[in-house]
């Protein structure tokens, strides 16, 4: 086995260079952080669950015509993706008031918004990812008008689709964060904006539709316990985890046609 080259290591994922040009391997770690790494824990098996959930969602979004970086799930913790030039923004879509929106504006958590609210945060750990406006994005050239419009259109379509997908398994999609990248074609001006990163309970707020039980990363942020069990419940409802995977230690199971897990 040749050792793959690590391209980047973030809080919850590692990127390795893929075998084919223009591809990367996205490895999902069990590391769990909040508040810009001030809170940290290792939740055994979380990376496996998020790999399965995010693969499922990316596949479905691809099926409805949203361009994504996802190519295929390779094994328990890894997926093959297109390499993109990341746009340094977190795009948050909110349906129900929660989290930082409530803190910032003094709103009551759980209040449905009259229509989806899109917010942008500039990705910069040293600055704690500040909230920015579309004007900041254009003036500082983090994205151009065409790219911003593409991100808005896709964010709203993703929200519509995901809200329905979650409602179908009795979950409320309260809010979520997505990130986009530029996929460069053969010509210099051939650039497509595609959905990148991940969509999982690490990056969404998901509440049970009947009881409002929290089934996402807020369980970790707020020390509510049962973090892994809640992620597992989301995966179970979506029908994405093969039987027997989630009990006990989640050692990788690699079928013969899958690339070996790294490291
Ligand atoms: N979010 C995320 N990564 C971040 C910040 C937020 O995935 O670095 C997600 C978060 O899980 C929630 C949504 O974006 O689903 C909105 O988060 P919010 O702005 O309320 O911030 P938080 O309360 O997480 O600090």
pLDDT of res. 2: 65
Within the chain, all domains assigned CATH 3.30.470.20 are found at: 85-208
pLDDT band for position 256 (50/70/90)? very low
Q: Is the CB of 205 under 6 A from ligand 1?
A: yes
Give me ligand 1 centre to Cα 203, in Å.
6
Of ligand 1's listed atoms, the one at least distance from the Cα of 101 is 20
Give me ligand 1 centre to Cα 173, in Å.
13
Average pLDDT over residues 254-260: 45
Q: Is domain 2-84+227-259 annotated with CATH 3.40.50.300?
A: no
Of ligand 1's listed atoms, the one at least distance from the Cα of 35 is 25
- CA dihedral of 78, 118, 149, 188, whole degrees rounded to 10: -30
Residue-wise pLDDT tens digits, 180-234: 999 999 898 899 999 999 999 999 999 999 999 999 999 999 999 999 999 999 9
Residue-wise pLDDT tens digits, 130-187: 999 999 999 999 999 999 999 999 999 999 999 999 999 999 999 999 999 999 998 9
Give, using CA atoms, the residue closest to atom 2 of ligand 1: 203
Q: In this model, does residue 71 exceed pLDDT 90?
A: yes
Residue-wise pLDDT tens digits, 24-51: 999 999 999 999 999 999 999 999 999 9
Q: Is the CB of 129 under 6 A from ligand 1?
A: yes
Within the chain, all domains assigned CATH 3.30.200.20 are found at: 2-84+227-259
Q: Is the CB of 93 under 6 A from ligand 1?
A: no
pLDDT of res. 189: 87
pLDDT of res. 120: 99
Q: Is the CB of 234 under 6 A from ligand 1?
A: no
pLDDT band for position 244 (50/70/90)? low
Q: Is the CB of 99 under 6 A from ligand 1?
A: yes
Fold of 85-208: D-amino Acid Aminotransferase; Chain A, domain 1 (3.30.470)
Give, using CA atoms, the residue closest to atom 25 of ligand 1: 100
């Amino acid at each position: 086995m040749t050792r793959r080259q690590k391209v980047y290591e973030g809080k919850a994922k590692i990127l390795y260079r893929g075998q084919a040009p223009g591809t990367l391997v996205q490895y999902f770690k069990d590391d769990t952080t909040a508040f810009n790494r001030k809170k940290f824990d290792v939740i055994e098996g979380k990376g496996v669950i998020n790999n399965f959930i995010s693969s499922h969602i990316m596949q479905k979004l691809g099926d409805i015509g949203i361009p994504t970086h996802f190519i295929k799930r390779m094994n328990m913790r890894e997926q093959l993706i297109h390499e993109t030039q990341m746009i340094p923004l977190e795009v948050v879509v909110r349906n129900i008031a929660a989290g930082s929106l409530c803190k910032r504006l003094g709103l009551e958590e759980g209040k449905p918004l009259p229509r989806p609210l899109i917010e942008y945060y500039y990705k910069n750990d040293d600055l704690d990812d500040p909230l920015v406006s579309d004007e900041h994005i254009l003036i500082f050239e983090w994205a151009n008008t065409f790219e911003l419009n593409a991100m808005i259109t896709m964010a709203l379509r993703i929200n519509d689709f995901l809200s329905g997908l979650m409602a179908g398994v009795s979950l409320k999609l309260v809010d979520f964060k997505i990130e986009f990248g530029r996929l460069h074609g053969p010509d210099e001006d051939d650039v497509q904006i595609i959905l990148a990163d991940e969509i999982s309970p690490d990056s969404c707020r998901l509440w049970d539709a009947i009881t409002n039980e929290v089934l996402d990363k807020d369980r970790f942020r707020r020390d509510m316990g049962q973090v892994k069990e809640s992620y597992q419940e989301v995966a179970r409802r979506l029908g994405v985890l093969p039987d027997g995977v989630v009990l006990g230690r989640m050692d990788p199971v690699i079928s013969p046609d899958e690339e070996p897990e790294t490291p």
